[in-house]
């Protein structure tokens, strides 16, 4: 029984150490993502000949009012702003 308690205490100590480092790791990852996003935005803007847009938040905008009714026959209604990029609408339309 003491051996099991010792293993559980060791595991608990390791988990505590990890949980204390996570906020700093997430902050660092967020900063890296923001830097890469700005670089990509500048590259796309330069390829299009447009000035780069101002920095934007990676967090979604909170809803401010009632949602507009979806167009009839519309299959996708609640996509985040970056969904256009995932659907291939980064200026590659022909």
For residue range 16-49, list pLDDT tens digits in order.
999 999 999 999 999 999 999 999 988 888 887 7
Q: pLDDT value at position 46?
A: 84
Tell whether 86 is covered by a domain: no
If one counts every other C-beta atom within 10 angstroms of the C-beta of residue 45, the result is: 13
Tell whether 31 is covered by a domain: yes
Domain residue limits at 44 = 24-57
Tell whether 45 is covered by a domain: yes
Tell whether 8 is covered by a domain: no
Q: pLDDT value at position 92?
A: 47
Tell whether 49 is covered by a domain: yes
Q: What is the C-alpha to C-alpha distance for residues 41 and 34, in angstroms, rounded to an integer?
A: 10
pTM recorded for the entire structure: 0.41
Tell whether 93 is covered by a domain: no
Tell whether 53 is covered by a domain: yes
Tell whether 75 is covered by a domain: no
- Helix (H) or strand (E) holding 8, with range, is helix 2-48
For residue range 3-16, list pLDDT tens digits in order.
999 999 999 999 99
Q: How many domains, the chain?
A: 1
């Amino acid at each position: 029984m003491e051996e099991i308690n010792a293993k559980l205490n060791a595991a608990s100590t390791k988990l505590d150490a990890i949980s204390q480092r996570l906020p700093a790791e997430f902050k660092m990852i967020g900063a890296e993502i923001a830097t890469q996003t700005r670089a990509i935005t500048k590259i796309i803007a330069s390829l299009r000949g447009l000035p780069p847009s101002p920095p934007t938040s990676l967090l979604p905008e909170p809803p401010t009012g009632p949602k507009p009714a979806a167009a009839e026959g519309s299959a996708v209604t609640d996509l985040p702003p970056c969904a256009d990029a995932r659907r291939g609408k980064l200026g590659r339309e022909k």
